[in-house]
Structure 1
Amino acid sequence: MTDALSTLLATRDWLMADGATGTNLFNMGLSSGDAPEFWNTDQPDNIRALYRGAVEAGSDIFLTNTFGGNASRLKLHGAQGRVQELNRVGAALGREIADAAGRPVIVAGSVGPTGEIMAPMGSLTHELAVEMFHEQAEGLKAGGADVLWVETISAPEEFRAAAEAAARAGMPWCGTMSFDTAGRTMMGVTSADLAAVVEKLPNPPIAFGANCGVGSSDLMRTVLGFFAQGSERPVIAKGNAGIPKYKDGAIHYDGTPELMADYAVLARDAGVRIIGGCCGTMPVHLRAMREALENRPKGPRPSLDEISGRLGAFSSASDGTGDDGGPARRERRRAR
């Protein structure tokens, strides 16, 4: 049976994903340092509001509030024994909202990194990583998620472990990495590297791409790097709403709805099939993105000059794949 996301992709040139999870929950009162996943059971109406806000703004896909829902991350809060419960409830709340939408909406089970370093550089073995991801995947599957959404990954070893876990759970999946250090992930992966990794997997994702990182201009440069490798697999772009700035005791993102609308159109014109936002992206941004995607005519694939002219200067001289790399000039942010 064809999975729900592949079915929807077959009928549409592009799909719109959701925006930020953390930013929206902080605005609802989540305290810094608290585990957002606890709100799945403790504040379910807030999580329903999070999901509903994306759907009402026009998202075709939204991610569950389970980014840090693996045993390693939850152990920091003494909740490593609640992995399946918190993921199941997070997905079930999403299923409730999606089924009431009146149109096809995909519930994507968010699976973030373990927070540990993979062997041989660190102590996390492939087998243990697969086990942690599989435990989370089974919870999301039980709650009714349509697809696993592996995101903000830095290491290819962790990407491969997540792929194996998805296969073990019998779940379709998508995967994105965060390119935030002069066009590379924290572990040095380039856009070309990820495109190569994806095609060598025995269980490749439905779609792959980039999320978070520095800003929308850098993310778009990474996206063009995927296409330069000739991949025909659907590409995902989930860029931050501008650049984070510290103001009045909190982090704020400076991206306007107009900028995010421009980013969405540039992503579509580049050939991206799934377009969303990451940190700082609120429903007001999503509404502007949806309107632009529906109403602005499709144009040619944008050049790097057009991207930087519309979205702002790149944070480094290189996309990481050449020899002209320069140091990043902007603060690196990876939290959602």
Structure 2
Amino acid sequence: MLVAEGYLFELERRGRLQAGTFVPEVALENPNALKELHREFLDCGTDVIEAFTYYAHREKMRLIGKEGLLEPLNRAALSIAKEVAQEAKGEPPLVAGNLSNSNIYKPGDAQSEKMVRSMFEEMLIWSAEAEVDFVIAETFYHLGEAALALEMIKKYNLPAVVTFGLYAQGILSDGFTVEQACQRLEDMGADVVGMNCFRGPATMLPHIAKIREKVSCPVAALPVPYRTTPSEPTFFHMHDHWASCRLPNNMTFPTALDPFLLNRYETADFAQKALDMGVKYIGLCCGCCPVHIRTMAEQLGRKPPASRYSPNMKKHFLFGDDPGLLFTREDLRGKA
């Protein structure tokens, strides 16, 4: 299964969402922009349209002083995802509801657990009423919070994909390794377990390999498309030593990561490596754009509708070798 994510970063790049707060108000303020991104991902080969409710939970809405928009925003995002899915020609994509890290969970704190459970439940009620095919619960850095999300998803009898974001320390915030956490979730009934966000392919795949060894259910791998390294394993602390200007707070995250973006062929290489590991749920997270998904789809042997626009250099004036060209590469050699 190929899954396009990364709505926060891509819509921010398009000027439709604010970096930092990262609240998906676009579902209400500019629904056509969200529809268009869904359509682009669909044309490029995604098997899933994920309702854009990442960070559309009560805590984020409280922070921006707009709790009254919580339900309208969630229902709008779910409706938009369903609408675009119904436009698909041939077999329609699956539609997923979405839960995300709350940023208020505290291990062993009964009050925070109660608040998080309540936040998840209200979003799941709306997802269930929208008749989503499954729910993606993602970017958890505590096993405890991921377990709460899974508990609530199963309460509504929905299939669950649950993934972790792993910080640079290489261990979850409540002390578990990511493979231990995935084992626990599988035992609790998760349908798919794995990782998303924070890490690029180079620093996520070694952990994915460990997860694949420990669980029998399908494994998910959705890195960010950035060139993370062992010395800078997540995109939170990447340094641009070649920047010619001062960056805000001297940080590349989240608005100056451009020099580290993987090219489309590197993302195709990631898809193949994940497939070779036995990963069955493959995608990209923050930083993903439609052309990444198209190239990954083609690497996996598919030809999505957007493949009609895949590169074809044969007719290029400088690099092509089409017999219809009036001048050949040899004629132009040394002139460009």
Normalised by the shorter chain, which TM-score bucket?
0.7 to 0.9
List alignment gaps of at least 5 residues for structure 1: 1-14, 296-336
Q: What is aligned with 1:261?
A: 268
- Residue 226 of structure 1: SS of its match in structure 2? helix
TM-score by length of 1: 0.77
Q: What is aligned with 1:210?
A: 195
Q: What is aligned with 1:20?
A: 6
How far apart are residue 173 of structure 1 and its match? 1.6
Separation in 2, partners of 1:84, 1:277: 27
List alignment gaps of at least 5 residues for structure 2: 228-234, 248-254, 303-336
Question: What is the RMSD of the two structures over their aligned residues, measured on CA atoms?
Answer: 2.0
Task: Work out whether 1:221 is the aligned partner of 2:228.
Answer: no
Separation in 2, partners of 1:179, 1:80: 29
Separation in 2, partners of 1:80, 1:189: 33
Q: Retained in 2: the 8 A contact 1:83–1:135?
A: no
Separation in 2, partners of 1:94, 1:19: 13
How far apart are residue 134 of structure 1 and its match? 0.6
Q: Retained in 2: the 8 A contact 1:17–1:59?
A: yes
Separation in 1, partners of 2:112, 2:5: 32
Q: What is aligned with 1:326?
A: none
Separation in 1, partners of 2:111, 2:94: 32
- 1:67-216 to structure 2, matched below 5 A, reads 67-102=54-89, 103-120=91-108, 124-201=111-188, 204-216=189-201
Q: Retained in 2: the 8 A contact 1:48–1:93?
A: yes
- 1:269-288 to structure 2, matched below 5 A, reads 269-288=276-295
- 1:48-59 to structure 2, matched below 5 A, reads 48-59=35-46
Q: Deviations over 1:119-159 (max 9, x none)?
A: 43x57433332111010111222334221110000111111
- Residue 25 of structure 2: SS of its match in structure 1? helix
How far apart are residue 33 of structure 1 and its match? 3.7
- Residue 275 of structure 2: SS of its match in structure 1? helix
**Equivalent residue pairs, number:** 277
Q: Post-superposition, which runs of at least 4 consecutive aligned residues in structure 1 deviate over 4 A?
A: 244-249
- Residue 283 of structure 2: SS of its match in structure 1? strand
Amino acid corresponding to residue 285 of structure 2 in structure 1: C
Amino acid corresponding to residue 95 of structure 2 in structure 1: V
Which one has a bigger Cα radius of gyration? 2
Separation in 1, partners of 2:212, 2:154: 26
How far apart are residue 233 of structure 1 and its match? 0.4
- 2:225 pairs, out of 232, 241, 263, with 241
Q: Retained in 2: the 8 A contact 1:71–1:81?
A: no
Q: Deviations over 1:150-176 (max 9, x none)?
A: 000011111111112112333222100
Q: Retained in 2: the 8 A contact 1:154–1:177?
A: yes
Amino acid corresponding to residue 257 of structure 1 in structure 2: R
TM-score by length of 2: 0.77
Shift of the 130–31 alpha-carbon distance from structure 1 to 2, 3 Å rule, reads: closer
